[in-house]
Structures are given as C-alpha cells and as structure tokens.
Structure 1
Amino acid sequence: MTSTSSARTTTGREPKQERAVRTRAQVLDTAAELFAERGYEATSIVDIAERVGMTKGAVYFHFKNKEAMAIAIVESNYERWPALLKEVRTPDLDPRGTILALLDRTAEAFHTDRTIQAATRLQSERSLIHTPLPEPYVGWIDLLTGLFEEAERAGQLKAGIPPRAAARVVVASFYGMQHISDVLHRRTDLVDRWQELRTVTLQALLPQD
C-alpha cells in the first residue's frame, strides 16, 4: 500500500494536496464551461465561484485572476493534441488514415469538449484578455506538416502540394468551419460540417487511387 493510500485509510479523508489539485481542476472546468457559454468579458470570478459552489476567496486561492484561468485553459487545450495523435496512430493506419483519424477525433472533441470550446473562444477574444495567450494554430500546423510529409513519402499527398501548405489550408479551413458552426448553430452541426470539409478538402489533398 502506498503512503497516499495509507493516509486516506488512516484519516478517512482525502489528503490536502490531492484535494487541492481536484478542486483546482473543478474550478478550471467550471471556468471553461462559462467562458465557452458566455465569453471572457461576460464571465466574472463571482460567476465561476457561484457555479462551482465556492466563495470568491476560495477561487482566488487557486487562480490569482481571470487571466490566469484563461491561460491555464488554453494551455490545457494544447496539451491534449499530442496525446490524441498517440491514440490514433496505430500500425494498421497509413499516413493518410492517420491524418483522417486524427481530424475525425478532433472534430468530435470540438463538438463535445467544453475546455476545447472555451480555449478556442478565448483565442478569438484575445484582444479582450489583458495578458498574452499561447500562440494559436502554429502547433497544429507543425503537427499536420509532419503527417503530410509522411503522406508525401508514402506517395499519398497530391503531387506538387507542399506538406506545409496542405497543413495551413487544413488548419485554416477547420478553424473557420468550427467557428461558423459555433456562431450559427452552437456547434450542433459541427460533425456534419466536418464531413463536408473532409470530403471536399482532404479528398483533394490525399486522393485515393
């Protein structure tokens, strides 16, 4: 039995450090939910405290201000993508299949994950946030460039299209698609709109014989 398990058994209570980590995550999840729903400017620390069922002072214990929450949410969003690529990359998928599987999963995540939705909205509202946020889009372009380079080596990328250009087009198209879906339909049609984009754009970049 580990010392953590022993502490929990002995005291009957969750260790203070673990409780703090869990509470911080709960506050951040709630902030993401509200940022996604209302936007950055229309969400206050009081709103977050009330929804999470804490005092404002308790929220400030975990985050010094709203800007710190925004940064943490955007960073959390970017941390998810390498893990997602690791999940979809399997020996039975060629580069084309890996790109499609990654983007399919990404579209589903944008449809359902409040942290991802919040981070995307925060990036679009970055002029309202009085602190620099992590740079958007560049990480996605780099990640997809590497995958399109693999597709090019496998003879799957359409001849004459530079991998980085393909990556930029896909990222721009994907983020534009999800933004329009959000504005017009609160992302309820996002997966359908992704399927259209997938058919029109990815089929052209990665044609099947």
Structure 2
Amino acid sequence: MNRSTDRAASRPSTARASRTARTARTDQLIEPKQERAVLTRARILQAAAEIFAEHGYPRTSLADVAARVNMTKGAVYFHFKDKDDLAIAVVETFYTRWPAALEEVRAKNLDPLSTVIELMDRTEREFFGDVMVQAAARLQSERSLINSDLPLPYQDWIDRLAILLAAAQEQGQVRTDLSAADLARTLISAFFGMQHISSVLHDRKDQAKRWADTKLLLFAGLRPQSA
C-alpha cells in the first residue's frame, strides 16, 4: 500500500520534470532560430543600404537586395514587407547611432564646445566610411519619392547639439547673441549641406577637406566676439 502511494505521488513530479526537459529542449531550438533570424535581417538591411547608397531609392528593388544576399525574394519579404519598409529600417538604424555616439564622446569628459567638435568630426568620418549612414542620408534627400513616412530628419541632432551649445555659452565658449537652438540649426544645416555636395559632386573624395574648411569657418563664427 505504501509502495503504491509512493509511486502515485512520484508521478506528478516525473511529469513536471518531463515537461521541464521538453521546454528546455524547445528553448534550445528556438534561440538559435531567433539568432539566425536577427543575423539574416541584419544582412538584408546591410545589402539594402549598399544598394540605396549606390543607386538611390527609385532604382533599387527587392529583387536587387535578394540577389545581393543570395536569397529569394520570399525570404526577404519574410523580414521586410516592401521596399518602403527597408528604407524606413535603414534610416531608423542610422538615427539610433546618434545618441550612442554622443554618449561615447561625452565619456571623454571634454568641455561642451570640444564635445560638439569631436561629435561632428566623428559624424563626418561615419558619413565617409559607413554605407548605412550614406544610404540614410540619400534616402532622406529622396523622401518625396518614398510612399511612407521616414523618421523626422535633423531635429534630434539639432536638439542635442543645442543642449551642448547652451552649456558652452554658460562657460563663455560660445557667443550669446544668438540662441543655442539657432546655432545648432546652423551647424547641422552646414554639415548636411557640406556632405551632400561632396557626395553628389565628388563621390565624397573631398569630404574631409570640405569639412575642415566648413568647420574652420563655423567654429570661428561661434566663438565670442572678444575671443
């Protein structure tokens, strides 16, 4: 009687252990699949960025992207519903890098104006060498050709620079006869215009020189008149 009772009592525990083991095996199967899906999506996004940067939005197709990653169009559609979805993802990826870059520069503990300069220098290097950045910039210039709304351009850059420039004004590094927001808007306008002209006219070959010239003029104009 006791042995029967013991066997009966052990059954729920055995069942729970079996379910736990099955769940663990299922999780082990799911995790690699999820990881592969993330990597595949990243490959597709990188290929799309390369083609958008090279040919622009109108002359890019999902078939081009699929061919670049040696996949079927159906496999690409599994991750992105259409070309607009790809374009949005490229631009969103670009904008997620800006806050992270700012935090990395801030970690150097530079003064506010030096932080602005270092951040802009870093951004120029990324525009020159990072195809995701190049593609996003081109897509933003072609936004009227895209049937979906892209993330709002430039404003986040302006807002974050304005905070730094306001701090620089408080420390006497930057002129105060113009608002920090106006100064930030001027910086961003000049920077994006500079990189766009370099891209269109010279395939960015002169971008570093063009930025050096622009930076010299801009930051000389930012400093207090008595400096």
Q: Same fold (TM over 0.5)?
A: yes
Q: Give the 5 Å matches for 1:106-125.
A: 106-125=123-142
Contact 1:181 1:190 in 2 (8 A): yes
Q: Give the number of equivalent residue pairs.
A: 201
Match of 1:159? 176
Distance 1:91 1:127 in 2: 39
After superposition, the C-alpha distances for 1:125-163 in whole angstroms (9 at most, x for unaligned) are 011111111111111110111110110111111231211
Distance 2:186 2:150 in 1: 23
Distance 2:117 2:211 in 1: 11
Match of 1:70? 87
Higher deviation after alignment, 86-95 or 15-24:
86-95
Give, as a single letter, the amino acid of the residue that structure 1 aligns with 2:148.
T
State the Cα distance separating 1:91 from its structure 2 match.
5.3
Distance 2:98 2:148 in 1: 23
Residue 15 of structure 2 is aligned to residue 35 of structure 1: no
Q: Give the 5 Å matches for 1:40-189.
A: 40-90=57-107, 92-189=109-206
Match of 1:24? 41
Structure 2: unaligned runs, 5 residues or longer: 1-23
Distance 1:92 1:140 in 2: 20
Identity %: 52
Give, as a single letter, the amino acid of the residue that structure 2 aligns with 1:103.
M
Higher deviation after alignment, 146-155 or 199-208:
199-208
Give, as a single letter, the amino acid of the residue that structure 1 aligns with 2:36.
R
After superposition, the C-alpha distances for 1:111-131 in whole angstroms (9 at most, x for unaligned) are 111111101100110111111
Per the normalisation by structure 2, the TM-score is 0.84
Distance 1:185 1:133 in 2: 27
Distance 1:17 1:108 in 2: 33
- Secondary structure in structure 1 of the residue aligned to 2:177: coil
Higher deviation after alignment, 82-91 or 34-43:
82-91
C-alpha RMSD of matched pairs (Å): 1.9
Residue 38 of structure 2 is aligned to residue 15 of structure 1: no
Q: Which runs of 4+ in 1 moved over 2 A?
A: 206-209
- Secondary structure in structure 2 of the residue aligned to 1:106: helix
Distance 2:58 2:176 in 1: 46
Contact 1:96 1:206 in 2 (8 A): no
State the Cα distance separating 1:15 from its structure 2 match.
0.8
Contact 1:145 1:163 in 2 (8 A): yes
Equivalent residue in structure 2 for 1:201, among 218, 221, 224: 218
Larger Rg: 2
Distance 1:187 1:103 in 2: 16
Match of 1:3? none
Match of 2:9? none
- Secondary structure in structure 2 of the residue aligned to 1:15: helix
Distance 1:194 1:110 in 2: 11
Per the normalisation by structure 1, the TM-score is 0.91
Structure 1: unaligned runs, 5 residues or longer: 1-5
